[in-house]
Amino acid sequence: MSNQYSSLAANEALVSTFIDSMARVYMWMTGGLLITAIVATGVASSDAFMIVLANNPMLFWGIIIGQFGLVMGISTMINKISPMTALGLFFVYAALMGVMLSVILISYDLGTVGIAFGVTSGTFAGLSIVGLATKKDLTKMGPMLMAALFGLIIASVANWFMQSAAMEWIISYAGVLIFMALTLYQTKMIKTMTFEALQSGDPQAVSRIGVMGALSLYLSFINLFLFILRIVGGRR
């Protein structure tokens, strides 16, 4: 009887720790979104900063390269740096993203931005719930989604030269579908990897998975938002 009670208590403790770990992932992701929103609003509200961005295209490209470098650095060095260092780099990335998205705030009506954000938030929340609740193995979705994402990037670059309105709509709707599927897939993978790390008794691994999970979900949210915004329209 005592062994049964011990096993039950251990399972309850594991479930409680798992819930806390998953909550931390979404808390970190939300923190990144808040940083992005604050920086984007601040930059868009500063005429001086916007003039600097407009007159210095190299600064713009420098931010893009910096973002790419941060993502690659976090991804490749996640097992060599502390989870808190990785989290700090993630927040720096989120701040740089805010600078990039500041252009959105002056290129679209704020009401349209609000609608797009609301739709994105509701869609993301629903997909996260499904991803956490589903018992299906979504592992096979990974390679297909990566191939679809690669195709989306190629199509976007090609249309940058073609300037086709019809292709723009196709890319936008395809982007929404791809990042919806990615959100579902990532949520399930984070759930599975977190639970396995907890069972192995490696708290550092749990934290690292949490940071990478927050970053991947953040990227899916931002891209989903941008594609939905393109569909909603309302450009000034």
pLDDT band of residue 213 (cuts 50, 70, 90) is very high
The model's pLDDT over 74-106, given as tens digits with 9 standing for 90+, comes to 888 988 889 999 999 999 999 999 999 988 878
Per cent of the chain over pLDDT 70 is: 94
pLDDT greater than 60 at residue 33:
yes
What pLDDT is recorded for position 11? 66
What pLDDT is recorded for position 181? 95
Average pLDDT over residues 166-176: 92
Question: Contact at 8 Å (CB) between 7 and 70?
Answer: no
What pLDDT is recorded for position 160? 86
Question: Contact at 8 Å (CB) between 230 and 179?
Answer: no
State the Cα–Cα distance between residues 22 and 127, nearest whole angstrom.
Answer: 15
pLDDT greater than 50 at residue 6:
no
State the Cα–Cα distance between residues 175 and 64, nearest whole angstrom.
Answer: 20
pLDDT band of residue 19 (cuts 50, 70, 90) is confident
Question: Contact at 8 Å (CB) between 214 and 28?
Answer: yes
What pLDDT is recorded for position 234? 52
The model's pLDDT over 110-163, given as tens digits with 9 standing for 90+, comes to 888 999 999 999 999 999 999 999 888 888 898 999 999 999 999 999 988 888
70, 120, 165, 179, 226 from 116: Cα distances, Å: 27, 6, 20, 15, 8
The DSSP string of 117-151 is HHHHHHHHHHHHHHHHH--S--TTHHHHHHHHHHH
What pLDDT is recorded for position 9? 46
pLDDT greater than 70 at residue 20:
yes
Q: Average per-residue pLDDT in the chain? A: 88
Q: Which alpha helices (H) appear in the chain, and where do they start and end?
A: 2-45, 47-55, 57-77, 83-107, 110-133, 141-162, 165-200, 203-232
